[in-house]
Amino acid sequence: MSNSIPNLLHGPVRVVNVGLAGFARDLAANGAAVVQVDWTPPAGGDPRLLAALATLGSSVDEANRVAMQKILAAEPVLADVRRAGELVAELDARRLLLHAGPPIEWARMCGPLKGAICGAIVFEGWAGDLASAEKLAAGGGVEFAPNHHFGAVGPMTGITTRSMPLLVVENRAFGNRAVCALNEGLGKVMRFGGNDAEVLARLAWLRDEFGLLLGKAIRNSGGIALNPLIARGLSMGDEMHQRNVACSSLLLRALAPSIARSAGDPASLAKAFEFMGSNDQFFLNVAMAMGKSMLDPARGIPGSTIVTTMSRNGTDFGIRVAALGDAWFTAPVEMPQGLYFSGFSAADANRDIGDSAILEAVGLGGFAMAAAPAVAGFVGAGGFADAVGYTRAMSEISAARNPKWAIPALEFAGTPTGIDVRRVVETGIAPAINTGIAHRMPGVGQVGAGVARAPLACFEKALLALADHAR
């Protein structure tokens, strides 16, 4: 071992000072290398949590190393767009509707989620109008399940039904894949609970024209490797959650020749380009499927305390952890803090919602805030120093850094990746999630953007379960 007693006595002494800051100042004044840890009682001093932390010692470190090796070895490739029912057979087999977040019954769902579900029921032709759709949903005529139970993710309400075209991201290092619906654009859209004729007509166009075209173009291109695309996007100011303008443009640039070759006529080609080119968040859904495809191989690794899923349904926030497979740990979801579009305020806001927190789980979004100073102001995080502060704080709860995804402003340090439940509970640092804010009434759409915190209670419950499991 390199840090032996003779090595220490040989010097120099390099100190982590945990507690009284005066000692660190004295050491620094003496020219010693020192970092200051501004200590607070771990786990808020809760003896049950402290006992659980003590149980989850060095054997967990090894399990987490294995998990992080898998996550960081991923080779995600945007491979296809196909109809949901073809990709998830259960969607064709029964009246199943997938939604964002952990499992939830109709009665507890928030307004936007209910609105989106009613729209989707009409879209699928299971009911003639929104009123009968609501009756059908409330009466148990449709089965609800989380996207995450079927290898899928979806932003905001995250509705996935059988006829929607889904992006397919393959993780070619492990042969698994994850899917996500196409981004509908801004304004009145189903992911914010929109369900009127305009919303449904756009969905029909995505289903009948654009999805088919995009799928063909991607297949013909041989697939788009996403690791390098993300790396370039980070150097261009994207963090892939709140800001995707660089990656959306890069993707369009990469696919444009293939789309042109696949399009039947100039008018439909122009419409496709117009749709992609006018939506700065087009890439968000690609990034989400990518995040899931990267994290899924870590699921089921015994002993690992790495978070594999973070997701919200507008009522509950839920996480899943590598060692505990399918178990959800949930707590009431929090209100995002942020800025509102003019005419709206916090009183209009819905609680935090969407599967998009998969991005933070894979080291993007709030974890990569330092790469995206433009976002920092928009999401209420303040200036560039605050953005760096977010990334630095998130590195305290992350098990590794992703060397493939460097942040230029941090001397090309990798994005902090792999949330360790133990570190979250111990430090009390809740993962910061860059998010859009939906109006609480269905169909109004996005009213702002900000930062939401993952509730600590999810991580505390997971920690206790992990410790029980380990004993």
Partner 1 sequence: MLVNRVERGRYLDSVALMRVSRKLEALAGVKSAAVMIGSPSNRELLRGAGLLAREGEAATPNDLIIAILAHDERSGAEAMRQADALLSETQVPAAGESLPRARGLGGGLGLMPQANLALISVPGEFAPHEARRALERGLHVLLFSDNVPLEDEAALKRLASERGLLMMGPDCGTAIIAGTPLAFANVLPRGDVGIVSASGTGLQEVASLVARMGGGISHGIGVGGRDLDARIGALGTLAAIDALAADPATAKIVLISKPPAPEVALRVLERIKGTSKPCVVCFLGMERDQSPMFATTLTEAAERTMGKKLSPLPSPSREMKKIKGARGEGLYCGGTLCAEAELIFRRKGLSGHRFVDLGDDEYTRGRPHPMIEPEIRNDHVARAMANPEVGLVLVDVVLGFGAHENPAGVLLRALKGPKPVVASVTGTEQDPQVWSRQVALLREAGVVVAASNAHAAELAASVIS
Cα angle 243, 249, 255; round to 5: 135
**Which residue is it, tokens 């070895």?**
73
- Where does residue 173 rank: exposed (0-12), middle (13-18), buried (19+ CB within 10 A)? middle
Q: Which stretch binds partner 1 (CB under 8 A): 53-61, 157-165, 271-279, 431-439?
A: 53-61
| CB-facing half-sphere around the CA of 444: CA atoms within 13 A | 17
- Binding of residue 412 to partner 1 (CB under 8 A): no
Long-range contacts, stretch 387-391, CB < 8 angstroms, 24+ apart: 390/366, 390/432, 390/451, 391/367, 391/415, 391/416
CB of 386 to partner 1, least distance (A): 15
Query: Is residue 5 a contact point for partner 1 (CB under 8 A)?
Result: yes
Query: By CB under 8 A, is residue 30 in contact with partner 1?
Result: yes
**Contact between 44 and partner 1 per CB under 8 A:** yes
DSSP 410: G
73 binds partner 1 (CB under 8 A): no
**Contact flag: residue 66 with partner 1 (CB under 8 A):** no
State in Å, rounded, how far the first CA of the chain is from the last one.
29
Q: Which helix (H) or strand (E) holds 224?
A: strand 224-225
CA-CA distance, 248 to 170, in Å (whole number)? 19
Q: How far is the CB of 466 from partner 1 (least distance, A)?
A: 17
Reduce the secondary structure of 258-306 to three states and give it as a string: HHHHHCCCHHHHHHHHHHHHCCCCHHHHHHHHHHHHHHHHHCCCCCCCE
Q: Is 55 in the site for partner 1 (CB under 8 A)?
A: no
Decide: is 53 part of the binding site for partner 1 (CB under 8 A). yes
- x/- mask, partner 1, residues 391-410, rule CB under 8 A, reads --x-xx--------------
Q: Report if residue 34 touches partner 1, rule: CB under 8 A.
A: yes
Query: What's the closest the beta carbon of residue 1 comes to partner 1, in angstroms?
Result: 6
Find all residues with CB under 8 Å of 41, minimum gap 6, and list them.
Answer: none
Tokens of 8: 């220490």
CB atoms within 10 A of CB 123: 23
50 binds partner 1 (CB under 8 A): yes
Helices (H), 88-179: 89-93, 111-123, 130-138
Choose which of 207, 427, 465, 469 interacts with partner 1 (CB under 8 A): 427
Which among 361, 382, 379 is positioned nearest to 296, based on CA atoms? 361
Count residues binding partner 1 (CB under 8 A).
55
Residue 28 or 254 with smaller CB distance to partner 1: 28
Out of 32, 327, 464, 465, point to the residue binding partner 1 (CB under 8 A): 32
Pick the piece of the chain touching partner 1 (CB under 8 A) from 11-19, 92-100, 308-316, 359-367.
11-19
Q: Which is nearer to partner 1, 277 or 383 (CB)?
A: 383
Q: Under the criterion CB under 8 A, does residue 12 sit at the interface with partner 1?
A: yes
Stretch that binds partner 1, among 13-21, 289-297, 333-341, 370-378 (CB under 8 A): 13-21
Q: Are 421 and 321 contacting, i.e. CB atoms less than 8 angstroms apart? A: yes
| Other beta carbons less than 10 A from residue 258's beta carbon | 19
Binding flag, residue 62, partner 1 (CB under 8 A):
no
The minimum distance between CB 28 and partner 1, in angstroms, equals 6
Q: Which is nearer to partner 1, 354 or 414 (CB)?
A: 414
How far is residue 123 from each of residues 107, 128, 200, 352, measured CA to CA in Å?
22, 9, 6, 25
Q: How many Å apart are CA 300 and CA 240, to the nearest integer?
A: 27
Nearer to partner 1, 57 or 187 (CB): 57
Does residue 21 touch partner 1 according to CB under 8 A? yes
Task: Provide the residue count of the chain.
Answer: 471
Of 55 and 220, the one with the shorter C-beta distance to partner 1 is: 55
Binding partner 1 by CB under 8 A: which of 184, 280, 360, 426? 426
Backbone dihedral angles phi then psi of residue 449, each to the nearest 5 degrees: -150, 155
Measured from the CB atom, is 44 or 277 closer to partner 1?
44
Shortest spacing between CB 25 and partner 1, in angstroms: 7
Q: Does 186 bind partner 1 (CB under 8 A)?
A: no
Eight-class DSSP state of 193? T
261 binds partner 1 (CB under 8 A): no
8 binds partner 1 (CB under 8 A): yes
Is 7 a binder of partner 1 (CB under 8 A)?
yes
Binding site for partner 1 (CB under 8 A): 1, 3-30, 32-42, 44-45, 50, 53-54, 57-58, 393, 395-396, 423, 426-429
